[in-house]
Amino acid sequence: MAPPLSRRILLQAAAVAAAVPTLSYAASGRAAATAAAPAAWSVLPFALDQVALEPGVFAGKRELMLDHARGYDVNRLLQVFRANAGLPTGDAVAPGGWEGLDGEANGNLRGHYTGHFLTMLSQAYAGTGEQVFAEKIGTMVGALSEVRAALRREPEVLAVEGRFGTAAFNERGSYQYVDLPSSVLGGATAITVSAWVRPTHADNWARVFDFGDDTTRYMYLAARNGSGVPRFAITTGGAGGEQGVNGTAALPIGQWSHLAVTIADGTGTLYVNGTAVARNTEMTLTPAALGTPAHNWLGRSNYPADPVFAGAYDEFDIHSRALSAAEITELQDSRAADSSAGRGDLVSYAFDETSGSRFADASGRGLDGTLRRTWGGPSHPGFLAAYPETQFIALESMTGSDYTKVWAPYYTAHKILRGLLDAHSATDDERALDLASGMCDWMYARLSVLPAATLQRMWGIFSSGEFGGIVEAICDLHALTGKPEHLALARLFDLDKLIDACAAGTDTLDGLHANQHIPIFTGLVRLYDATGEERYLSAARNFWGMVVPHRMYGIGGTSTGEFWKARDVIAGTIGATTAETCCAYNMLKLSRTLFLHEQDPKYADYYERALYNQVLGSKQDKADAEKPLVTYFIGLTPGHVRDYTPKQGTTCCEGTGMESATKYQDSVYFQAADGSALYVNLYSPSRLTWVEKGVTVTQSTEYPREQGSTLTIGGGSADFELRLRVPSWATAGFRVAVNGRAVQGSSTPGGYFSVSRKWRAGDTVRVAVPFRLRVEKALDDPFLQTLFLGPVNLVARDPSTEYLEFGLYGNAALSGDLLPSLTPVPGKPLHFALNGTELAPFAEGTEDPTHAYFRRAEPRIVFGNTDSGVANPAKDDGTSLLDEVWAAAPFHGKSALVEHVRSTVAAWVTAGLLDRADGETVVATARKATFVS
C-alpha cells in the first residue's frame, strides 16, 4: 500500500544523507557540539559542559531544580512503562497529574514526563558532572531497554505469593488477560465457577471472567459493578436482558477473596468467602444457552471500554454441577485438589507457573490458558511507549479531536525520543541510541505506508495530532545514524498547509493551538540543515516574525488558553490562562536555532526577554523533592497568583520547566563557524571553556542587579573578535573598556560591539550597559502598559483584581528615563515603590498577587515633581501633551527641555487643544522645576 510519496522521499533522503555531515545537536552534549556542524550554520553553539554557571540568579534557580532531580525516585516514572510491558513495578507509584493510568483523559499522555526527566538529568549531568545524575540516567535507560525487550516477546506470567503456593499477577496497565479455549463451558446446563482473586485497584466493571461472543451473548463475573460490589450476570440479549446477582459489599483491595457462582435448576447463587451473599431464583438461562463462546477470558471484558482486571489470580475452577454450600465453604481453607469437590472437571488452573505464558489445565481436558495482551503487541520491534500502540493506530482514522481516546501520541513519542538522544549525548550510552533508533524505525514503518492525505489530516487535528518537536529530534538522530529512512521519516511530518502559508509570509495563526505548532518550526530549520530546502527556513523565519512582537506579551510569552488570537491583539487576549510556559520554552528554542543561521540580534533580544522574565519567573523559589514547582499558565490579569503545581504536577509545562532550569547557559556564548569570533549574547555569571582556542572566558557579574559585566580571559592566548551584544533597550549608552582603557566602537542598540585583538591570559573586558525605566504599550491599547528596567520586567504586587493606574512622568529625567519617578526599596535590589505599591522583578518566583500590566494615567501636567495644576490634554488618538513632550527625550540640559515644552504648548494652543493661560502655566512650571539629568 506504500504510496509513491514515501519512495520519493526515501530516495531524496538517501542522496542528502551522503552529503550532510553528522552532528549531535543535543544541548546536553558532552561530546563536542561543534563537530561536523551543518554547513548552513554560521555560528556554532557550545555544549553545556563547556559553559559553567557561576553563582547568581540562574545558578540559584538551577540548584532548586537539581535538588528535585537528585531526590526523585525515577522508578516512579518507569512504573507505567514496566506495567505496559507486563514487567514487575515493585512498590513504585506513578506520579499524579498527566502520568499514570488515572491521569487526565485516561492517562493517555503517560510516558511524556519520563522523556522530560531524562533530558533534565542529561543536562544536569552535562552542566555539573555529578555522578548521581548519570546513575539515574543509567537506571532509566536500562529499564526502558528491558521494557522494549519485553514488549517484543509474548507476555510472561508474573508469579507472586498466592493464597495457596504461587499466583499469577496481572499488573494494572499491562492490558494482559488469560485467553481460554472455546470449549471451556462444555455446553453445561449446571455450573460452578470458583476463583481466588486479590484486586489491586477499585476498577468498576473489571471482569474476573467473561465468556461470550460480543456484547449480546455473554456470562461474566465482575469484581465490582457500577456500585462497587461483585456482580454475576448471563444474557443472550445484551445488557438489557441480563439475569444476574449482586454482592452486598466491596471486595477489599490488596486482600485475597474467594468468589464462587453456581447455576442450577433456575437458581443462581453468588458466594463471597464461603458465604452466599445473593441468590436469584428466576434465572432461566444456563451456560448452554451461550453455545460455544468465541471469547473466554479471565480479566478481560467483551465490552472494549471496560478496564482489564488488575490483581492476582489463584485456583480458578469450573465444575459442571452446582457445588453445595458446604463444598464451597471447604474451598476457603484448601486447594481444590485437596477438597471433597476436587478440581473443576471443565477447567482447573492452579496458577503455579513461574515463567512462560501458558497456564496448565488440570481438569484432564487439556484446555490450557494463554496469557495475552488485549492489543496483541507492537507492529515493529522498535516500539517503545508507556501505553499500547492503539493510540497511534486510532489516530490514522480520526477526523476530529478527542483527547480521551487519542491524546498526542507522537508528542509523547517525541519526548521519549528526545530524552533518549540527550541521555546518549550526555553519557555515551549506546543503549539509549539503540532505543532511539528503534523508535524511529518503528515510526517509519508505521507512517511510510500511509497516503499523503492521511498524514496531512492527522497532523492537522488539534491535540490528537500534535507531535511536538519530533522532527528536530529525528533530524538529530539522522545526524548520528545517517540512515536515509530517518530523514525520510522527518519529512513525513510536513504539515504542508502551514509550511506553505508561512513560507509565503501569510499569517494564518489565528485560532491555532500555539504550542502544537511552535516546535514544528524548530524542526523545519533542522530539515533545512539536512536537505537545503529553502521553504523550511523561510517558513520558520516568517513564523517567528508572526509571533514576535505581534502575539507576544511583555514577558516574552505567547498564547491565551493555549491558543493564538488575531495578530496584534494583546490587551484583548489577556486573561488568567495567558503565556503557557511551554510556548516560551519552544520560542526560545526556535530563536536559538534561527540564530545559528543568521545572527540577527533580535533573536538574542527575544531570548534575553523570555529567559530573564517568563522562564525564570515560572520556577518557584523553593525546592521540592516531589514536584518541580513550575507554572503551566502565567495569568497576566490583575492580581494573578502563580500556580506552581498545576493539574497535580507532571504537565507538559512542568516537563519543559525542568529542562529550562538545567540549560540556562545554553545561549550565553556562540562561536563563529570559522572560529574567528566569539559572540556574547547574554550577560550572565558563567565560565566558558573554549577548547578550540585554548582559552577560558569568565563573566563576573550580578546582572541584572548589576548594570554591566566583566569578562576575564584565562588559559593561553588567541586571536578572535569579541562580539558583545548591545541590547535593543540599551539607549542610555553602551561602553566597553579593555584592561581599563575605553574602546571606541559602534554601540547601536540592537547590534554588536566588536573588539578584535590577540587575547592573553589576564585580559579583562568591562562592559557597562546602563538601565533605563521604560514602558511597552499593548499593541491594541496604548494605555495598557508593562514596565521594564533594562531587561527586567517589573510587576506591581497588589491583591487588587482591577488594573492599577500609574503615572510615570512626574519626575522623569532629562534623559527620558522614568526611573526617578520610582522610589528604591532599601535592601531589596530591583524593588521600587510607586504610589505606595511595591514593584518587583517578574523573575522572582513568589506567590504574591501581581500586576504585569497597568493603566497609564497622567491626569495633570507635572515636571520634576512640580504640579502645574493643569489637566493633561490628549489628541483624538490618545497621545497626551506629556507624551509628545517626552517623546523628544533625551534633552541636553534643562533649557532644551523648556524650549521644547514652549514649542509644544504653542502648537497645542494653536490647535485649540490647550487654553493659552494654561499653556503659560505649563511653561512656567517646566522653567521652575528641578530635573534629574
Here the CATH number for the domain that contains residue 229 is 2.60.120.200
**Position 443 in a domain:** no
pLDDT for 16 beyond 80: no
* Chain-centroid distance, C-alpha 160: 37
Could you read off the pLDDT of 381-390 as tens digits, one per residue?
999 999 999 9
User: Number of structural domains, the chain?
Assistant: 3
pTM (two decimals):
0.94
User: In which band, very low, low, confident or very high, does the pLDDT at 96 lie, cut at 50, 70 and 90?
Assistant: confident
Q: Is residue 285 part of a domain?
A: yes
Position 299 in a domain: yes
Q: What is the pLDDT of residues 301-330, one digit of tens each?
A: 999 999 999 999 999 999 999 999 999 999
The CA angle 304-306-308, to the nearest 5 degrees, is 100
Distance CA 267, CA 228 (A): 23
Residue 87 lies in a domain: no
d(C-alpha 822, C-alpha 422), whole Å: 46
Give the C-alpha separation, 343 to 269, whole Å: 20
Q: Is the pLDDT of residue 253 over 80?
A: yes
Residue 198 and residue 300 in one domain: yes
Whether 912 and 764 map to the same domain: the answer is no
Q: For residue 199, tell me if it sits in a domain.
A: yes
Q: What value does the mean pLDDT of the chain take?
A: 95
Asked if residue 31 has pLDDT above 70, the reply is no
pLDDT at 24: 39
DSSP 437-464: HHHHHHHHHHHTTS-HHHHHHHHTSTTT
pLDDT exceeds cutoff 50 at 380: yes
- CATH value at residue 718: 2.60.40
Residue where a domain stops, chosen among 721, 739, 768: 768
Point out which residues pair with 219 in neighbouring strands. Answer: 211, 234
For the ranges 28-37, 148-157, 188-197, the lowest mean pLDDT is seen at 28-37
Question: Which pLDDT belongs to residue 277?
Answer: 98
Would you state the pLDDT for residue 525? Answer: 98
Domain assignment present for residue 190? The answer is yes
902: containing domain: 858-933
d(CA 442, CA 47): 30
What is the reported pLDDT for 647?
A: 85
* Residue 111: all three cell numbers together: 510516558
Asked if residue 309 and residue 182 are part of one domain, the reply reads yes
The edge-to-edge listing of strands for the beta sheet with 669-672 is: 43-45, 669-672, 677-680, 718-726, 751-759
Determine what percent of the chain is predicted with pLDDT higher than 70.
96
Tens digits of residue pLDDT in 754-763? 999 999 999 9
Tell me the CA distances in angstroms from 583 to 193, 547, 621, one per residue in order: 56, 11, 21
Rounded Cα distance, 245 and 259, in Å: 13
Spatial distance between the Cα atoms of 287 and 211, rounded to a whole number of angstroms = 9
Q: Is the dihedral of CA 777, 781, 785, 791 positive or negative?
A: negative
Look at residues 727, 746, 768 and tell me which one is the last residue of a structural domain. Answer: 768
Classify the phi-psi angles of 568: left when phi > 0, otherwise alpha if psi is within -120 to 50, otherwise beta. Answer: left
pLDDT band of residue 862 (cuts 50, 70, 90) is: very high
The SS3 of residue 475 is: helix
pLDDT tens digits, one per residue of 200-238:
999 999 999 999 999 999 999 999 999 999 999 999 999
Which pLDDT belongs to residue 28? 54
**How sure is the predictor about 664, in pLDDT bands with cuts at 50, 70 and 90?**
very high
What per-residue confidence (pLDDT) applies to 34?
36
* Co-location of 208 and 342 in the same domain: yes
Go through the chain and tell me how many residues it has: 933
- Cell numbers of 128, please? 555539573
Write down the pLDDT at residue 174. Answer: 96
Q: Which residue has the cell 445473593?
A: 278
Is 609 inside a domain boundary? no
- Rounded to whole angstroms, the Cα distance separating 268 from 803 reads 70
Q: Compute the half-sphere exposure of residue 415: CA atoms within 13 Å on the CB side of its CA.
A: 28
Residue 765: pLDDT over 50: yes
Nearest to 620 by CA among 584, 661, 664, 583: 661
Per-residue cell: 340: 471433597
- Strand 243-246 to strand 805-806: parallel, antiparallel, or no bridges (unpaired)? unpaired
Give dist(CA 364, CA 361) in Å, integer: 7
Which of 721, 745, 768 lies at the terminal end of a domain, its last residue? Answer: 768
Span 492-516, mean pLDDT?
A: 98
Say which residue the cell 536515509 belongs to.
484
Angle between helices 514-531 and 534-547 (to 10 degrees): 150
State pLDDT tens for residues 54-69.
Answer: 999 999 999 999 999 9
Are 764 and 862 in a shared domain?
A: no
Whether 566 shows a pLDDT value over 60: the answer reads yes
Angle between helices 652-660 and 581-595 (to 10 degrees): 50
- Return the pLDDT at 692: 95
Same domain, 763 and 865: no
**Average pLDDT, integer, range 554-568:** 98
Question: Cα(98)–Cα(463) distance, rounded to whole angstroms?
Answer: 14
In a domain? residue 424: no
609 has pLDDT over 70: yes
